[in-house]
Chain A
């Protein structure tokens, strides 16, 4: 629970402060956001499954975002940044869909 509260607090802080992002990091933002969404959906599903764990949630969130950024960085260095980003987005969105379906089954029993 502390993780969800902390996340909410962080989001609010970001909305209030709106700091500028250095241009170097700009290419990694879209993938990082998708990875964060994936972690949030995974956490939501585990909450409904009754196995939510603060530490796992935070660690999976951070590692998802970091790995996504590293993949994009690697792709940029190898000249296949766009293709790798597409691959990452495809995999993450399949996971998001699957988690969303599980959540739906939990909530509506359908």
Chain B
């Protein structure tokens, strides 16, 4: 005999282990994301109002408004955003995820991922590359111009490419990448290379001009983070069905909006447990310091929720040059994540850990009992709108999120009469 929590967690883990995230195509957000509308902007993390948004989120919203043609200057955009004409909702409420600010507007092209084992879908915008980009809160003319190029050239070429190629099994691609030095959150060099190798012949077979094909291949090749916007929805599509398992203490969402960090626990449904987001300990670009940093932001820690990203840092020793620390620290991070997880991934095997599967299935009870917090590696955005990325580093969720969730979980079981006197 085992208790109802163990039974529920076993079911949730089986769902996560069996997930089959598959790239099936591309579409326009307003046409494919459930509930998407012209007056709705999606953002990273738990729910938040314009007034409480941090710099990078506000900057991303302003860029989105100019991209949508709803404002022509940053001042007009800020006024529009504050006017109440625009609605805001988390990406996570619409089967989507977004890196950093995570702003999704109706015109934006998105990847479409389907979990073939359970039929659910997840969506994510295409990665913009590094430098001045919307996801880091930049909104200058070059940001908007690049987004327009992505819509006009990158999107149609990639859409036709995937139609020619057919679906791509992302689980296998991620499994290969984690054996090639990626953890597919802040290091996506191998995964991006694997993707390009897979789709390059199909890009050449599309009906577009050589100039466009070359521009697309050069852009994909210039941006190691191309695959991040596939690893994230792959993780989201894998975890989402587990979020419906009653009485499970497994975390199926971790996300930050730049002001608050939020988690969601399977047995507690769609309820968010939030606390102020932390400042990141990391390496800053020349001329910047912790003083310039915005608190933790982005949906990208959905990778850690699945057990890749920071949880699998041991397999990506080169990443410490980007986020700080030593390869020994990377092994220590991964080792400690087995303390708070339930199983080892059957798919994502880590060579430096003697091919142990990545630590999978964060259990809120274990986090509270051991006081070991999930480890997340992340980019750092400037706290002011319009500046962009200033570094990268390591961060943790606030313990308060897990404490609130545990209390709510015990209250739920008490209310349902499931605790013995």
A binds B: no
